[in-house]
Amino acid sequence: MAFLSPDFSPAYPEIFLLIMICIIMLVDLFLDNDQRYFTFILSLISLAGCAVITFVTLSSEVQYTFSGMFVDDLMSDSLKLMVYLTVALVLIYSRNYIRVRGMFKGEFFSLSLFATLGMMVMISASHFIVFYLGLELLSLSLYAMVALQRDSALATEAAMKFFVLGALASGFLLYGMSMIYGATGELHTSKIAEAIQTKTIDHQVLIIGLVFIVAGLAFKLSAAPFHMWAPDVYQGSPTAVTLFIGSAPKLAAFGFTIRLLVDGLGALAADWQGMLIILAVASMAIGNIVAIMQTNIKRMLAYSTISHMGFVLLGFIAVDHNGYSSAMFYVIAYVLMTVGAFGIIMILSREGFEAENLSDYKGLNQRNPWLALIMMFLMLSMAGIPPMIGFYAKLSVLQAIVNTGFIWLAITAVVLSLIGAFYYLRIIKLMYFEAPEHNAPVLPSFDAKILISINGLAVLITGIFPQALMGLSLQAIQTSM
Amino acid sequence: MNAQDTIFYFFSAVLILSALGVITFRNPVYAALLLVLAFFSAAGIWLLLEAEFLAIALVLVYVGAVMVLFLFVVMMLDINLEKLREGFWKWFPFGTLIAGVIAVEISLVMMGDQFKQMTSLEPKASDYSNTKELGRLIYTEYVYAFELAAVVLLVAMVAAIALTLRHRTDKKSPNPSNQVKVKRDDRIRMVNMAPETKE
């Protein structure tokens, strides 16, 4: 029987990254401990190379390859570009932090890049087996990264919780997928969509599969009531890893949700809409209300993530292109803000000191006015105050659901985010109106300082001119569906 | 009920009972051995489905390699069972309730029309090779998934080494390579001493 070699060209970024990871692991073997900067630079070069390849092959046409298991479209390309950017930012912000904590090792970089590869696979998957493998690639790398600081009891506990609950969620997802497979007899998302439309399939079987899939997805997005792991893992992990977990994987989870729920199970939209409403309202309520009580800023940001994910799910509830594109815009905005906020936590931390309590932010304005200003931008953006990007993200999601007729949902979301504004504004109050508890100098490294400034200003500028990003999201969704 | 059905129900019953035993037995060695039995029964069911390769792989890999290693670990580690079982009875009713509800719901769906309409597989000819078909699929249609699985294994290796390999500093052990390479000059220092003379 004839076998045609698959077209590799849509998957060039993945192939390039995998080759680079292998090279990095081999090169790292021959490096001394004080030469690890070479690994660091090489990792950044790999990400830049991937970005160049993705950018050069950017096109709005939808390409399938590897017997329809891999899909390359505008949405996957734009999400991947965001992933490279985020991971590069994470690595640069973490450099100093991990160096003083003895984590500046080849494994940190190779596992980060493996996780990146997993995200790329998830974003481009169109086959249930590939979804699962991409997810496991990402999750396994993350579990190991959380546990990398072996002598810290907190980090080990966080890794254990993350691993056990993550395995449970993967099990849920897999069980749901097997149910859908049992009902439709297909594994390709497009063929599943077709089978649901054309064949007579018992609705109950599809629903039970859908319930398990949604539960698994909600876990990966850390949406309530599947959010229990997030605060503990965020708090227990080294901040560099928290930053990693809290940022780029959410982009991948968004792509994953679009492909699974919309591409594959779009015909069941009426069913998952109801489930997502519960998840979204619960996430926004728990995220915003519980965050008020937190005194640890990493834990607080974990709850903030939960509430932001509630907003992202709101975009899905609209079940139209406007809703999906506003959800995509929201995820990108969220990642920009989160990377910046955790970046500041890491800049303020130093050897033997974690700037993780809210009281550590008292009087930041007197210690370093520029960093305080950037942090204020980020907090205002997270609270959704104009003219920051967070405001437009919330606005577009709310517009999409109001257009679909869910006015009560929009009102609930606004009220809950109003409650949430309290804890973001509290940080601004601490930074500007209270006296610092200690006066240790803040000495960010040069590159981190430049990037955090760009990061903070980007939150402001994309907030004033959101059209370009908004247009890109809309075009990506429209050409990919 | 024909012979095939009888065999299926026999294997299924053994599978379910041994799986129950895995989580209820107090002695971890029994639990591990019952897991072996569970894998074995699952392999039997796969054999009935004419998935010979998977059945054999399950026995060879899980029973032959994974579970034996697992047994070693269980026997060598001194696991404090009392501590592990703490809170078991406290949560038992709650857990049983939830598991029961899920089991009832799932079986209601499974008893529905969907799975009754399914026709059984047509038996393949005797020269049909399950292994060959599987190999053909893995290296052609599923090559992308296959490569990804390989990458997942690579991550597992990197993670396992990163998490467990540590160069201990609290232990004084000689380095064999240095011991072999040692030269006479490293051990003996020739000292030229002037002969002592009596005053």
Q: Hey, of A67, A116, A177, which one would you mutate to test binding to chain B, going by the most B CBs within 10 A of its CB?
A: A67
User: Average pLDDT, stretch B76-99?
Assistant: 78
Asked if the Cβ–Cβ distance from B158 to A129 is below 8 Å, we say no
pLDDT band at B80 (very low <50, low <70, confident <90, very high): low
Q: Which tens digit of pLDDT belongs to each residue from A242-278?
A: 999 999 999 999 999 999 999 889 889 999 999 999 9
| pLDDT > 70? residue B82 | no
Closest by CA position to A285, among listed A254, A310, A317:
A310
Question: How would residue B1 be classed by pLDDT, with cut points 50, 70 and 90?
Answer: low
Residues A166, A230 contacting (CB under 8 angstroms): no
For A1-26, write each residue's pLDDT tens digit: 566 788 888 899 999 999 999 999 99
Confidence of residue B169 (pLDDT cuts 50, 70, 90): low
d(CA A177, CA A67): 19
CB atoms within 10 A of CB B22: 18
Distance (Å) from the C-alpha of residue B149 to the closest C-alpha of chain A? 7
Question: How does DSSP assign A378-442, residue by residue?
Answer: HHHHHHT-TTSHHHHHHHHHHHHHHHHT-HHHHHHHHHHHHHHHHHHHHHHHHHHHS--S-----
pTM of the model: 0.90
For residue A100, is pLDDT > 90?
no
Q: Would you call A64 an interface residue with chain B, using a CB distance cutoff of 8 Å?
A: no
Residues 6 or more apart whose Cβ sits within 8 Å of residue A458 = A336, A389
Q: Is residue B167 classed exposed, middle or buried when 0-12, 13-18 and 19+ CB atoms within 10 A define those classes?
A: exposed
Most A CBs within 10 A among B104, B114, B117, hence the mutation to make, goes to: B114
Per-residue pLDDT, A86: 95
pLDDT of residue A102: 80
Does residue B28 surpass a pLDDT of 90? no
What is the SS3 assignment for B118?
A: coil
Q: Which residues of A touch B108 (CB under 8 A)?
A: 204
CA A103 distance to own-chain centroid: 23
| A247 HSE (CA, 13 A, CB side) | 29
What are the sequence ranges of the domains in chain A? 9-480
| Residues of chain A neighbouring B143 (CB-CB closer than 8 A) | 6, 66
Q: What ipTM did this prediction achieve?
A: 0.91
Over residues A80-91, mean pLDDT: 95
For residue range A30-41, list pLDDT tens digits in order.
Answer: 888 888 889 999
Return the closest-CA partner of residue A243 out of A137, A26, A95.
A95
pLDDT the model gives residue B110: 78
CA separation (Å) from B181 to B67, B171, B177, B186? 42, 22, 6, 10
**Amino acid, res. A163:** F
